[in-house]
Amino acid sequence: MKRVFVLFLLFTSCTLYPPYHRPSFESADEWRTPLNTDGAVDIGWWKQFGDESLNHLIDEALANNQDLKVAIARVDAFQAQLGIVRSQLYPQIELDGQGDHHKNSSNNTSPPSSGKQILNAFNFIFHASYLLDLWGEVRSAVEASYHDYLASIEARRIVVLAIVSDVANTYVQLRQFDQQLVIAKKTVEDRARYYYLAKVRFDLGLTSEMPVEQALTEIEVAQVDVENFQIAIAQTENLLSVLIGKSSIAIDRGIPLDGLSMPPAVPSCLPSEIVSQRPDLRAAEQRLMSAGAQIGVAKAKFFPQISLTGNFGYESIQLNTLLNNQSNIWEYGANVLQEIFTGGRLISNLQLTQAQQREALHSYLSTLLNAFKEVNDALISHKINLELVETQRKRLEATQNYLRLSNLLYQEGETDYLTFLDAERQFYRSEIDYEEAKGNSFLSLVRIYQALGGGWVFDADAVALDQDGRCEKYKGGAID
């Protein structure tokens, strides 16, 4: 008897899917553009900017963003699907009850033994069945569903990562547009004064009408910029409103772009560690594991399915005798199903799962390559953008000097209006470009955190779940 029991355990512990090994991939020891990581902050990195309005917007987005709500609900759906698949590991028990009053045909060639045509019939029967998962078909399906569930959790974290990054990016762009709008409006006012001076000089007969028309043209050019920045601000506010789960509203501003603090360092992460940092890579790996488990399901189809069945209940033509011992019925047995000829369906199904597993493998490797690219792109972009801010600052100082000197010479009649106009244009453009460079330096920093992923994603995900009234203990390896 012990040998039979041991043999049964060996059979029921059998699974036919290939063991999983993380795909090996040669990566560099360091990023192409190493940056200072001393004292870098990972959790709540956006708080380093020192803007409470930004912090509040991100909190609102984690609590109210509708795309995030969809992702949370999708995880619930995958969890329920896992429960459905896992239920097949247990015996299935059903109760079938019936009570009726019926009349038999008087012309029936086989009348009832009682001779009565009008009869009662009562019964209730428990039906039980249990599939012996000898080849691991059900357990392979459970394994696949489990990894699909874990992949859905990582997909939710991808949404969290995107939302936090998008809010930070959009807010920085909003503050950039705000500052550029101020510059454009001031330029319109300055050019209106230049226009007045050009008109006075024309009225006095000191110049031709051409400087007047040129000055008027420059006013309109700056006014077009004002209107474009106003459109950009409205659209950016609308986007932020959607991100925080509200209809279009005016967004509260915090400190100006000049007041945002630029963190001096970024979190440390080696290329070899990126697999565990980014939720898209973790999701791709879970999908790869799920595809491998599906191979086990397909292989198990080649072997016979054995089910144990049993019935127990009571049956009587009289209700008061239904529960008598004489009324009980029972039955037990086993069913064996072996598919013999399927026209190649089983082989094709196996080939399908193997192809899907290869697809998942190359999708994972493609995601990994893209992760390396995004991190390297973000690092070099941030480094160059920081240098560009300084370059634009020096350019701004030079054009400001150029404008001051050309204005003095123009007022004294020692240079023509075109020289002054060129200086004014360059100064205005350098002001606009300087603000854009500052904005880009913050946007590139956000892209670094977005590309690296890391612990901040888990923290933000936990905040989102807490706001939604959820509590989840999955941290990447198992679910408690």
Share of the chain above pLDDT 90, in %: 66
What are the structural domains of the chain?
Answer: 14-92+134-304+345-467 (1.20.1600.10)
- The model's pLDDT over 36-49, given as tens digits with 9 standing for 90+, comes to 777 677 788 999 99
Mean pLDDT within 445-459:
93
**pLDDT band per the 50, 70, 90 thresholds, residue 177:** very high
| Average pLDDT across the chain, whole number | 89
- The model's pLDDT over 38-96, given as tens digits with 9 standing for 90+, comes to 767 778 899 999 999 999 999 999 999 999 999 999 999 999 999 999 999 999 999 98
Dist CA 444 CA 377 (whole Å): 9
pLDDT higher at 206 or 358: 358
* Whether the predicted pLDDT of 409 surpasses 60: yes
Per-residue pLDDT, 9: 47
**pLDDT band per the 50, 70, 90 thresholds, residue 295:** very high
Per-residue pLDDT, 477: 41
* From 71-85, 179-193, 315-329, 418-432, the region with the lowest mean pLDDT: 315-329
CA 209 to chain centre: 60
pLDDT higher at 472 or 134: 134
Per-residue pLDDT, 73: 96
